[in-house]
Amino acid sequence: MKVSPALVLTAAFLALPFIGDAALAAPKRGGVINVAVVGEPPTLDPMASTTDLVGMVTQHIFETLYTFGKDWKIVPLLAEDLPQVSPDGKIYTIKLRSGITFHDGSAMTSEDVVASLKRWTEVATRGKQTAPKIAAIEAPDDSTVRITLKEPYAPLLALLAFNNAAAVVLPAEDQAVPLVKVVGTGPYVLKERRADRYIQLARFDGYKSRSGEADFYGGARKQYLDEIRFVPVPDPNTRVQGAIAGQFTYADSLPVESFERLKGGKSEAVVLKSFGWPVFMMNTKEGLLANLDMRRAVQAALAPDDMLLAAFGSKDFYSLDGALYPEGYIWHTEAGATLYNQADAEKAKALLAEAGYKGEPLVILTSRQYPFHYKMAEVAKAYLEQAGFKVDMQVVDWATLTDRRADPKLWNIYITHSPFLPEPALSSYMSDAAPGWWASDLKHQTVGPFNTAVDPTERAKLFAKVQEAVFTEVPFYKVGNFNALSAKAPNLQGVTPAPWPFFWNAWLE
């Protein structure tokens, strides 16, 4: 799969002025950085959560067999190389790197990997998504893992590489659910966690980096920093003020209206162009929106242009686009997109009447920790009420939202966002087990052939049918495209801006 350079995140990042000069400086060892994040992670088990915050923190502690290099190509991490795949596409033979140790000093073997992958298929939403395709996970010897599939499954490597509901490798004896010991193979080890204050990571002296150069999330991972502290700062204005004052070395997920304010402070703006898409996920399992006509009423009522304007203020930071991937991606298609941006209250009212709506509250979960989520929710509430819905907008902290969305009795819509991912199967809606629980015959009839096809051109055509099914059954509502804003201290070098910021290979000047 080749993604257009115009829309690849890494290509956009290379144009940022601070990267070119930083790359020329000699890295220095030592120092501690404070990274302001949107809140307290609900868990440090990367298999058990699909939240970006969990993936961002835990990718420094745990590692997967594969990860993503430049242009989102899949590259080996704990695996020695890309797998050998049988001619029928069903058997993946994976050689493991030698000399890898866990933070507890034990050596990593295929026994650990097999136990971890089996746990992943039982615990992680993306593992559960993969499990029905797997016939066996075995260890022919201490340095080899073999995955046998029931049928070819094109997304397998991308799912194994993803840091979200991640297939991380844990010691075979530390597979408890919920996770008890935070022990991985990553460049940093958990030193201390103080709830709502900080998560402190320290250099793991036993870490064995890959050789060669850094390659986005892949390649060499150098441990220049002594410690990384992730500091929960739920209030976005506090994150902005801390960045301006130089209190934080890196501040993640800032309101875009703070862009001009950063220019006069002690931090530099980091803009992630063509970052991703805000989305209203709908509960198709229980409650009002288990009814398709109700979901279509929501689809008909919403006005994404007004929602995006309220959320981002300037078209420098957003674009109106219903396609699940923007132009330039192999996955871009307009199939079904005529149902986007209807803003038709009368049509919505007719659909509500057809569905037998009796004024039950439509519960929308959102959080102020991502200000654009909350602002979009306010506008959506007005349009939905105009269409005849009675809206109960519940504003909670992000950790509470991620807890509540696991219970289908507690919500009808929750608001989130996602980067544009290199493989559509990585998106949570592709899993029947993800909150929203979209699991219809039409979904399976379109997603199944897409996942088993191997040829990229054929898969792109099949994805058009998946997108059309999304617009037909409305398991979620994509609002548009947006750019994201973060900030970093001028003396923090070696950072490649990324959707889940990472701080191996970073140093303080």
Does the structure show a pLDDT above 50 at 343?
Answer: yes
Q: What are phi and psi of 489, to 5 degrees?
A: -70, 145
What is the structure's pLDDT at 9? 35
Same domain, yes or no: 298 and 205: no
Residue 5's pLDDT band, with cuts at 50, 70 and 90, is very low
Distances (CA, A) of 171 to 50, 98, 114, 182: 22, 15, 10, 10
Q: How far apart are CA 213 and CA 73, in angstroms?
A: 15
Assess if residue 22 is contained within a domain: no
Q: How far apart are CA 404 and CA 453, in angstroms?
A: 36
Same domain, yes or no: 302 and 425: yes
First to last CA, the chain: 38
Assess if residue 115 is contained within a domain: yes
Amino acid sitting at position 1: M
What are the structure tokens assigned to 356, written together?
Answer: 């037998």
Mean pLDDT value of segment 144-156: 96
Distances (CA, A) of 490 to 11, 14, 24, 249, 332: 21, 17, 14, 9, 37
Residues 399 and 40: beta-carbon distance below 8 Å: yes
Q: pLDDT by residue (tens digit) across 443-458?
A: 999 999 999 998 999 9
Helix (H, G, I), strand (E, B) or coil at 84: strand
Q: pLDDT by residue (tens digit) across 247-297?
A: 999 999 999 989 999 998 999 999 988 889 999 999 999 999 999 999 999
Assess if residue 509 is contained within a domain: no
pTM reported for the whole predicted model: 0.85
SS (HEC) of 127-174:
HHHHHHHEEEEEEEECCEEEEEECCCCCCHHHHHHCCCCCCECCCCCC
Same domain, yes or no: 416 and 289: yes
Q: How far apart are CA 123 and CA 49, in angstroms?
A: 9
Does the structure show a pLDDT above 90 at 23?
Answer: no
Assess if residue 219 is contained within a domain: yes
Assess if residue 342 is contained within a domain: yes
Specify which residues 42 forms β-bridges with: none
Helix (H, G, I), strand (E, B) or coil at 118: helix
Higher-scoring residue by pLDDT: 328, 79: 79
What is the structure's pLDDT at 135? 98
Q: pLDDT by residue (tens digit) across 154-169?
A: 999 999 999 999 999 9
Could you list the residue range(s) of the whole structural domain that residue 387 is in? Answer: 274-482
Does the structure show a pLDDT above 60 at 474?
Answer: yes
Helix (H, G, I), strand (E, B) or coil at 57: helix
Does the structure show a pLDDT above 70 at 396?
Answer: yes
Assess if residue 504 is contained within a domain: no
Residues 17 and 85: beta-carbon distance below 8 Å: no
Q: pLDDT by residue (tens digit) across 190-247?
A: 999 999 999 999 999 999 999 999 999 999 999 999 999 999 999 999 999 999 999 9
Helix (H, G, I), strand (E, B) or coil at 282: strand
The CATH number given to whatever domain includes residue 127 is 3.40.190.10
Same domain, yes or no: 278 and 223: no
Does the structure show a pLDDT above 60 at 386?
Answer: yes
Same domain, yes or no: 204 and 348: no
Number of domains present in the structure of the chain: 2
Same domain, yes or no: 167 and 293: no
Q: pLDDT by residue (tens digit) across 82-115?
A: 999 999 999 999 999 999 999 999 999 999 999 9
Pick the last residue of a domain from 232, 249, 283: 232
pLDDT averaged over every residue in the chain: 93
Same domain, yes or no: 280 and 359: yes
| Burial of residue 87 (number of CB atoms within 10 Å: 0-12, 13-18, 19+) | exposed
Does the structure show a pLDDT above 60 at 22?
Answer: no
Same domain, yes or no: 228 and 279: no
Does the structure show a pLDDT above 50 at 428?
Answer: yes
Distances (CA, A) of 353 to 176, 298, 299, 390, 391: 49, 13, 15, 14, 17
Mean pLDDT value of segment 316-330: 94
What are the structure tokens assigned to 10, written together?
Answer: 């890494």
Q: Residue 392: in which H helix or E strand, if any?
A: strand 390-395
What residues have CB less than 8 Å from 191, skipping those under 6 apart?
Answer: 200, 201, 202, 227
What is the structure's pLDDT at 4? 35
Does the structure show a pLDDT above 50 at 367?
Answer: yes
What is the structure's pLDDT at 25? 65
Assess if residue 300 is contained within a domain: yes
Same domain, yes or no: 280 and 411: yes
The CATH number given to whatever domain includes residue 444 is 3.10.105.10
Q: How far apart are CA 137 and CA 287, in angstroms?
A: 38
Assess if residue 41 is contained within a domain: yes
Residue 15's pLDDT band, with cuts at 50, 70 and 90, is very low
* Rounded to 5°, angle at Cα 318 from 316 and 324: 145
What is the structure's pLDDT at 19? 37
Same domain, yes or no: 341 and 476: yes
Does the structure show a pLDDT above 50 at 14?
Answer: no
Same domain, yes or no: 310 and 366: yes
What is the structure's pLDDT at 273? 85
Same domain, yes or no: 297 and 423: yes
